[in-house]
A and B are shown apart, each in its own frame.
Chain A
Amino acid sequence: MEKYAVYVPRLVQKKEKFAPGHRACIGCGEALAIRLAFKALDNNVVVANATGCMEIVASQLPYTTWHLPWIHTLFENTAAVASGIEAAYKVMRRKGMPVPTDTKVVAIAGDGGTSDIGLQALSGAMERGHDFVYICFDNEAYMNTGIQRSSATPFGAATTTSPAGKKSIGQFSWKKNMPEIAVAHNIPYVATACHSYPFDLMEKVRKAAAIKGPAYVHVLSVCPTGWRSATDTVIRLGRLAVETGMFPLYEVENGKYKMSLNIPKLRPVKDYLKQQGRFRHLSDDIIQKIQDRVEIEYQKLLEKAKYGSKTTKRKSRAGAGKVPA
């Protein structure tokens, strides 16, 4: 990454799609991630936005932050709205009605709008194979309504509806593995990303938009307000989430896993947890429990990536001459 630093202004388009003036909290990782994600794309995009922080901070009649055609309707239906737009464009183009060509529909939602209330609509849209990109900006709780737990909240995190107390360690369940759920739909492209790795994020969004069919990108978005962390640690926390294996960066292209970063040795999760108020109450044995789980999950992922690279090789060898039986 470092070697790109000097070229940043040239590599990233100057035009803002998600313009300044919105009302996100100081140090909002999600606003940063959205800004970067849409800088990766051209202007031939329609955005369908679920209810949530990013909808609220960016739209207030009579203003808008968006320099792209943008629609918000409800909380749980964004993937369905996106499929309606995609279908409409398809048929109108076929019938010679005046719509631009190759427009990409991009649905965006938070973790609640994706892994909880919007899961059914998303599953339906992915299964039907609409040509669209779905980006989940995951800040690991319902931040817009005041930091309530979602199924994407990590184990042990204190939220307003999973508070830590004498009889509670905070969030009692493990973070729902949304990217794996997307993979299970056999869609052409699934990726995880984080604003702390901006070029990786942008490259993945670009790739997702270039692919024909449903693409799912899951973006960890640090939320200082909800994570009870310092506003100047947003980038560092994103990096720690990746370096500890809490949020591994990878992509799955046509079913083949590929790790985005080579991390020879994961940092202890403690480095990540200790910087956030939401994990402050965790005892050493709970932290150890998280550590063990993260290592198992990370290992599983590495295995899949190993298998993915093997099958690629095998296939290319098979294609070199032999006719399959």
Chain B
Amino acid sequence: MTTRVGIEVSIAVADAVRLTNTDVIAAYPITPQTHIVEHLAELVANGELDAEYIPVESEHSAMSACLGSAAAGARTFTATSSQGLALMNEVLYVASGMRLPIVMAVANRALSAPLSIWCDHSDMMSVRDTGWIQIIVENGQQAVDNVICAFRIGEDRRVLLPVMVHLDGFNLTHVIEPIVLPEQREVDKFLPTNKYPLPLNPDKPVAMGDFAPPVIFTEAKWAQEMNLRDSKKVVLECWDEFYKAFGRMYKPVEKYHSDGAGIILLTIGSVGETASVAIDELRADDENIGQVRLRLWRPFPFEELRQAVKDAEVLIILDRAISFGGPGGPVASEVKAALYNQVGRPKIVSFVGALGGRDITVAGFKNMIKKGIEIARTGSKNEYEIYGVRE
């Protein structure tokens, strides 16, 4: 049986990629993602992973090389962060539109300006509509497990879509956590070989990336949308199989004491664990409070979310990104939309905080929750509250 060892999360993610026997890695350095691709370069250099490592000259080319590699039928991985993800933006749309199952780890980091290398989710939110399957993790083990799952999901013949695994920069990438690295034979058993149905091959020529006139474009996009929505079945199936094989369970919306709770806090990413401690303490003080975390960001888990919060009176949501001039945090905005037509929906209080690497402590979460409950009762003239700002 495998044991937990203390390992830096980035190194563990790279090791997970090694276990998937990835064929091609194209990557460009950017903090805080670098440790992942550095370790992959090392694994390739030492012959521990038989892959081609393309040290490209930009993230735009990293994702572009991934397009070529995936189109040729190779298992393909890259990782990036922040500005790198922003630079890739137009290529991300092509990857999903052309149905290329690339896997990418994103070490979430703020976007400039001002420059900040620290964690928030503004990079993640800027690629929300790129058509990728997006999984958000909150600890190193989840990152490792979901990188492996990402290949299985994306390469599934019923899916054929690229997959992002979001892990918080520094808060996850640079911390040492106790992690179980699966055995090679277990991963080999769990993850089938990549069989891209129509790869670029002179023996059977295909044309990929033709342009679509108006008479075809809508159908092409609708097919893509249906495909992404339907991928949820495969995601669930994969997580089920993963549980059977490895004993760790993942769900699109993960609940923590939320059944029957009057107040629910919704988080994404690594702050979720700190928030859980605050929930524990509040529950010890007899507060009827629970927590839900979004694990699956795209396709959005509408049903699971509605079920998870249907009995709550107050739903407090923390976003780590600002939709400037908009309705609040992007997650809150989507959750509001998902619940708007529900009978007896909870009151929603949207907070934006923990931007650019600022911590929210356990006391901070308790404070925020208290404030949230107050706002739910009295109402607020603001679309959302900014948490922890010095004015």
Residues of A that sit less than 8 Å from B by CB: 43-46, 48, 55-56, 59-64, 66-74, 76-77, 79-92, 94-95, 97, 99-100, 103, 120-121, 123-125, 127-128
Contacts and interface: CB of A to CB of B under 8 A. Distances in A.
Given A59-B207, A71-B208, A83 B202 contact: no
Contact of B94 (A74, A82, A127): A74
Contact of B50 (A81, A94, A100, A121): A94
B58 interface: yes
Contacts of B204: 69
Given A77-B64, A84-B69, A87-B69, A69 B216 contact: no
B117 to A, nearest CB: 24
Given A56-B211, A68-B202, A87-B52, A73 B67 contact: yes
B60 interface: yes
A315 B74 CA distance: 44
A70 B54 contact: no
A276 B215 CA distance: 38
7 contacts: A60-B213, A72-B209, A80-B62, A81-B65, A84-B26, A84-B67, A85-B200
Nearest to A103: B202
Contact of A71 (B23, B55, B200, B203): B200
B205 interface: yes
Contacts of A43: 202
Nearest to B66: A84
A84 B208 CA distance: 15
A74 B230 CA distance: 27
A88 B24 contact: yes
Closest A-B pairs by Cβ, 10 of them: A84-B68, A124-B57, A77-B64, A84-B65, A88-B74, A80-B64, A88-B72, A80-B61, A59-B210, A87-B52
B334 interface: no
Contacts of A92: 23, 72-74
B208 A72 contact: yes
B24 A72 contact: no
B71 interface: yes
B64 A74 contact: yes
Most buried by A among B72, B203, B204: B72
Contacts of B64: 73-74, 77, 80-81, 84, 121
Interface residues on B, range: 35 or more
A167 B299 CA distance: 56
Contacts of A103: 202
Given A43-B202, A66-B207, A70-B207, 20 more contacts: A46-B72, A59-B211, A61-B220, A69-B200, A72-B209, A74-B94, A77-B64, A83-B56, A83-B68, A84-B69, A84-B76, A88-B23, A88-B73, A91-B51, A121-B57, A121-B58, A121-B60, A124-B57, A125-B61, A127-B57
Contacts, number: 171
B57 A82 contact: no
B91 A85 contact: no
Most buried by A among B52, B64, B69, B76: B64
A90 B52 contact: yes
B52 A124 contact: no
Contacts of B67: 71, 73, 77, 81, 84
A120 B65 CA distance: 13
Interface of B: 23-24, 26, 50-52, 54-58, 60-62, 64-74, 76, 90-91, 94, 98, 200-213, 216, 220
A97 B201 contact: no
A95 B51 CA distance: 9
Contacts of A82: 68
Contact of A120 (B58, B98, B201, B205): B58
Nearest to B98: A73
A97 B90 CA distance: 31
B144 to A, nearest CB: 23
Contact of B60 (A70, A80, A91): A80
A44 B202 CA distance: 5
Contact of B68 (A68, A76, A80): A80
B205 A99 contact: no
Nearest to B57: A124
A55 B211 contact: yes
Nearest to A55: B211
A68 B94 CA distance: 21
A63 B213 CA distance: 11
Contacts of A64: 207, 210
Contacts of A62: 210, 216
B366 to A, nearest CB: 48
Contacts of B60: 76-77, 80, 121
B213 A88 contact: no
A74 B23 CA distance: 23
A61 B54 CA distance: 32
A46 B73 contact: no
A48 B69 CA distance: 12
B54 A68 contact: no
A83 B209 contact: no
B200 A46 contact: yes
Contacts of A77: 60-61, 64, 67, 91
A56 B74 CA distance: 27
B50 A128 contact: no
B91 A91 contact: no
Given A62-B216, A73-B98, A74-B94, A100 B201 contact: yes
B220 to A, nearest CB: 7
B361 to A, nearest CB: 43
A137 to B, nearest CB: 18
A55 B212 CA distance: 12
A81 to B, nearest CB: 4
A73 B209 contact: yes
A44 to B, nearest CB: 5
A135 to B, nearest CB: 17
B10 to A, nearest CB: 23
A123 B258 CA distance: 54
